Every structure is written in structure tokens, then in C-alpha cells.
Structure 1
Amino acid sequence: MTIRAVVRGVGHYLPERVVPNTWFEDRVDTTDEWIRSRTGIERRHFAAEGETTSDLGAKAAQAALADAGMTAEDVDAVVVATSTADLTFPSAATMVQAKLGMKQGFAFDVQAVCAGFVYALSNANALILAGQAKRVLVIGAETFSRILDFEDRGTCVLFGDGAGAVLLEASTGGGTSDDRGILATDLHSDGSYKDLLYVDGGVSTTGTAGHLRMQGNQVFRHAVEKLAETAHTALDKAGLSGADVDWIVPHQANLRIITATAQRMQVPMERVVVTVQDHGNTSAASIPLALSVGKERGQIKEGDLIVTEAIGGGLSWGSVVLRW
């Protein structure tokens, strides 16, 4: 028998404040039509004053636990993917752990920007396969509104705040691609592309949080190429192909990137979960948010084969193939 990390529950949380595209029209040289036509985004959520990344993450985690019919006492570890932690330290994950009332287990953050959830899922899978944890909460949570330059129309219209979570549990399978759970992972990074997507501040440089900076055209080019490639690699590792995929659940950055990647994978858009129109780019939160919404909509069902893929600053990118 083979140990697999199986999704037992999924949940998400979005701040109450909804920000439509028209909100930006009085602030930068843009229009609702311009944003929709270039990104597919129609609205996003911004966290309230005093509402932190760990607040969002804890609420998403509670939703995932409720979906699984479990409590925080059943969890061995918490892994939070985020680039917008509440404080420089301690980790947002330990704050989520405290808000869940967990006294047992361990918690840590993973920072790979928009690829963070894929990295966190891969790490949580490794913890389960190594026998270090039986149940792991994997959370993507972000408050990107706190690092946006609202005078930069090329970036400020793209991002939003939110959180999503999955609860993974160790289970046994037959060692084939028919098993439920994570079947394959594929991770990459190349630090030479740092200047394409970064934040111009930090503890050891400016001592400030800084603002997000991006060369959008270059990121787009790398995204389409690298996302399709990593997805195919992960499918190959699992002994599967694009024809076997029930759903692509991609990083929700830009509808054009999502569409182009699906075309390269030869998967029709009818088999792609798309939420970018409602949430914008929520960085590490976007994939678990989309997984939760996809299940809520009735799209994702038990036994479905899912490919998740993402790319973010670093550049860092990767994918995970799992059977729901």
C-alpha cells in the first residue's frame, strides 16, 4: 500500500469589502472596460482596517475543518503560504494556530509569492509521506492591498485579499493514478528573474514594507510558457496526460494567462475553474480559494483529477496533480 495525502476538507474566507473596477476610475487613469478586457477582473475584496492575514487564514481554516467534520484538535501541523504576514516574525501560521486554539503540533510559513500554495501543498505532502504529520492544514492567505501602490495603474487594479484552506490527511492507496490524494508535484525557481516581480522594500534593505512592482508583459510571457510546462511534467510523473484532467484549478492572476495555459495543455475552458473575475489576484490564496469555490459550485467532485499550477515572484513556479 502507498501513503497518500488526501483532501478531507476545503474552505475559504473573503473580506466583506468588495471593490469594483469603477472604484479605481477616480484614482488612476483606467476604466472598468480597460481592466475587464485585459485581465478578466471585475471586482476584488479588500481587508478591513485591523483585519490581518492571519485573521483571514484562521477563518478559511475553520471553514475547511467544518467541511471535513473535524476540529483543530485533530490537526498536527499548519502551513501558511503568504507574502503578507502580519509581522516580520513570528510566522502567520503560528498566529493561525493560536486563533484556532491549537496547543499541539507545529506551524510555519512558506513564502513563494503567487506560487506559495503549490509550494505549501508540496511541503505538506512531504510531511505526510515522511510520517511527521497525519493531518495538515494548508492555507493560502494574503492582504496584498497593504503593499499596493495606488498610483500605479498597472498593478493596483490586479490584486485582492482573501484566504483559502485545505485539510490534508494521510490515507492509503494502491500506488496507482486512481488513488485519491496528491499524485505528483513539480517545483521550480529562477532568481535571475527577480526584477520582473518584486516588492521594493524589506527588513534588510529599506526597513519598510515597500510596494509591489511588476513588468507585466514579461511576467505574462514566462507564465504561459512555464505553467503549461510544469503541469505537463507533473502529469507525466503521475503517468497521466491532459486528456485525463477533469479540472485545471490555476493561479487566478489574469484570464488571458489562464486561457493561454489551458490552450497549451489542450484542455477546454469548460474544464477550468475560473474565479479571477470575482477575486482578482489573491496571490498564494488564489488556488485554495478557487478549489473551495469550485466545490461550492458543484464543479469539483470526489474522484476528479485536478491540476493546480502557479507562478510568482522569484520567479517561482510549480504544479500539483491530485485526485479529489
Structure 2
Amino acid sequence: MIRRSIVVGTGHYLPERVVENSWFEERLDTNDEWIRSRSGIERRHFAADGQTTSDLAIRAAKAALENAGLTADEIDGIVLATSTPDFTFPAVATMVQSGLGMTRGFAYDVQAVCAGFVFALANADAMLRAGMANRLLVIGAETFSRIMDWTDRSTCVLFGDGAGAVILEARDSAGTSDDRGILSSDLHSDGTYRDLLYVDGGVSTTGTAGQLRMQGNLVFRHAVEKLTKTAHAALDKAGLETSDVNWLVPHQANKRIISGTAQKMGLPMEKVVLTVADHGNTSAASIPLALSIANGENRFKPGDVLVTEAIGGGLSWGSVVLRW
């Protein structure tokens, strides 16, 4: 018998402000067709003035708790992925902890940009399997609208704000690929590609938050290959084949990257959860957002095999295989 991390609840929150592609036409040399054809994005949500990453995360966490039928005092800890924290410190997770009324357990942030939720999920799984906790809240939350260069049409049209959350619970399992829960994870980083996707500011450099910079064509070249390889590696670790996969739940960065990865994996688009058109790239929030939306639509059936994968600044990339 071994301990497995089972998903027992999902939730998400999107800011009320919806920004259609037409909003950018009035401000930049771009148009709806250009944005859709290159990214698949039609609209995204932007946080309101004064609305912070922790505000979004708290709303998503409350939704996940309600979905699981749990209260905050039944959670042992929070692992939160973000690259857009409210403050340099404390961790956004501690503000979520306070916002939920939790006075026990632990809370900390993970920073791996768009791959952050995959890293946070693998981290939480390791703690649950090791017996360090029995039930964890794993959140991805971002306010990327705060770090956009609104004169750069190649980046500012791509990103949005939002938060998603899952609750993992440790349960004894047989230790086979037929178990429910997280079956494997595969994580990678390579700092030599730092300049492909980064923010040009920080505490020890400029003393400012900075703005996002990206060499999109080069990121695209790395994305499909690396995402396909990490997904296959995680499936191998789980003792599964691509033919066993019921759903691919990818980081929602770009429809072309998603379709290219699915094609290389031999998966039809009918098996891919797509939310990028309505939300844009919400970085670490995109996978838990997609999980929550698909779960709310009852698309996942008990026993379904899901593969989540993401790549982000660092470069950092990875995948998690789980059985619903």
C-alpha cells in the first residue's frame, strides 16, 4: 500500500472585467483576426483597480472548498504558484490562509512562471505521499495585467488574470497504475534560456516590478518539443501509454502550441481541454482554471487519465499524470 494524492475538489475565479480583442484595436496596430490567428485568444479577464492576486486566489480557494464539501480548518496547508505576488513578501499563500480563516498548517509560494502549477502540484504530492500532510490546497493565481508593456503588441494581447485551485487528499492505494490520484510527475528547468521569457525588473536589479519580455518565436520552438517529451516521460513513469490518456489539460498559452503538442502525442483535439479563447494566458492559473471549468461541466469521469503539462520562463517545464 502507498499513499496517493486524490483530487477531491476544484474551483476558480475570474475577474469581472472582460476584455475583448477589439479593445486592443483602439490602442495598438493590431486587430481581432491577427490575435486569433496567432494565439486562438478572443478575450481575457483583467483584475479591477486594487484587486490583487491574493484576492483572486481566495475566491478560487473558497470555490474549491465548497466543491469538496470541506472547511478551511480541514486543510493542512496551502501551496500557491504565482509570478505576480501582492508583495515581495510575505507569500501570497499566507494571505490566502488568513483570508480563509486558517490559523493552523502552513502556506508558501512556488515560482516557476507558467509551469508554476505543475511544480506546485508535484510539490504538494510529494508532501502528501511523505505523510507531511493529509489534505492540501494547491492554487495557481496571477495578475499578469500588472506587468504588461501596453505598447508591445506581441505580448500584451496574450495574457489575462485569474485563479484556479484544487484540493488534494492523501488516501491509501494499491500502488499500481490503476490507482486514483497523481501517478507521476516530470519536472525540468534550463536557465540558459532565461532571455527567451522574463520580466525586466526585480528587487535586486531595478527595484521595480518590471515588464514582461518574450521572444515568442523561440519559445514556440521549444514548447512543442519539450511539452511532448515531458508528457511522454510522465506517462512512462506511471506505466501508461498515450492510448490510455482520456484528457490532455495543457497550459493555456497558445492554441497553436496546444494543437501541435496534441498532434505530436497522437491525441485528437476532442481529448484536449481548451479555455485559451476565453481567458488568454493566465500563466500558473491556467491549468487549475481549465481543470475547474472542465470538472464543472462534468467532462471528467471517475477513472479517467489526465495529463497536465506546461512550459514557462526559466525555461521551466513539466507534467503531471493523474487518474480522476
TM range (shorter): over 0.9
Matched residues in 2 for 1:299 and 1:6: separation?
17
Q: Which residue does 2:304 correspond to in 1?
A: 304
Amino acid at match of 1:112: A
Q: Which residue does 1:70 correspond to in 2?
A: 70
**1:298 Cα deviation from its structure 2 partner:** 2.2
**1:69 Cα deviation from its structure 2 partner:** 0.3
SS at match of 2:261: helix
Amino acid at match of 1:105: G
Matched residues in 2 for 1:34 and 1:301: separation?
37
Q: Which residue does 1:126 correspond to in 2?
A: 126
Matched residues in 1 for 2:178 and 2:11: separation?
25
1:253 matched to 2:290? The reply is no
SS at match of 1:155: coil
Amino acid at match of 2:165: A
Matched residues in 2 for 1:155 and 1:302: separation?
38
SS at match of 1:320: strand
Farther-moved stretch of structure 1 (293-302 vs 50-59): 293-302
**1:302 Cα deviation from its structure 2 partner:** 2.1
Cα-to-partner distance string for 1:197-240 (whole Å, 9 max, x where unaligned): 00000000000000000000000000000000000000000000
Q: Which residue does 1:163 correspond to in 2?
A: 163
Q: Which residue does 1:267 correspond to in 2?
A: 267
Cα-to-partner distance string for 1:83-116 (whole Å, 9 max, x where unaligned): 0000000000000000000000000000000000
Q: Which residue does 1:83 correspond to in 2?
A: 83
What are the equivalent positions in structure 2 for 1:100-249 lying under 5 Å apart?
100-249=100-249
SS at match of 2:203: coil
Cα-to-partner distance string for 1:61-80 (whole Å, 9 max, x where unaligned): 00001010000000000010
Matched residues in 2 for 1:301 and 1:49: separation?
39
* Superposed structure 1 runs of 4+ greater than 4 Å apart: none
Matched residues in 2 for 1:211 and 1:303: separation?
42
SS at match of 1:88: coil
**1:26 Cα deviation from its structure 2 partner:** 1.0
Amino acid at match of 2:292: S
What are the equivalent positions in structure 2 for 1:268-283 lying under 5 Å apart?
268-283=268-283
SS at match of 2:124: helix
SS at match of 2:154: helix
Query: Structure 1: which 5+ residue stretches go unaligned?
Result: none
Amino acid at match of 1:309: E
Matched residues in 2 for 1:222 and 1:182: separation?
26
SS at match of 2:223: helix
Q: Which residue does 2:42 correspond to in 1?
A: 42
**1:282 Cα deviation from its structure 2 partner:** 0.1
Matched residues in 1 for 2:98 and 2:90: separation?
12
Matched residues in 1 for 2:77 and 2:262: separation?
33
Amino acid at match of 1:61: A
**How many aligned residue pairs are there?**
324
What are the equivalent positions in structure 2 for 1:89-100 lying under 5 Å apart?
89-100=89-100
SS at match of 2:132: coil
What are the equivalent positions in structure 2 for 1:22-41 lying under 5 Å apart?
22-41=22-41
Amino acid at match of 2:224: V
Cα-to-partner distance string for 1:18-64 (whole Å, 9 max, x where unaligned): 00000000111100010001100000000001110001001100000
Matched residues in 2 for 1:11 and 1:213: separation?
30
Matched residues in 2 for 1:127 and 1:82: separation?
19
SS at match of 1:228: helix
**If the length of structure 1 is used for normalisation, what is the TM-score?**
0.99
SS at match of 1:156: coil
Matched residues in 1 for 2:250 and 2:301: separation?
17
Amino acid at match of 2:137: L
Amino acid at match of 1:316: S
Matched residues in 1 for 2:79 and 2:301: separation?
24
**1:301 Cα deviation from its structure 2 partner:** 2.2
SS at match of 1:79: strand
Matched residues in 2 for 1:262 and 1:194: separation?
26
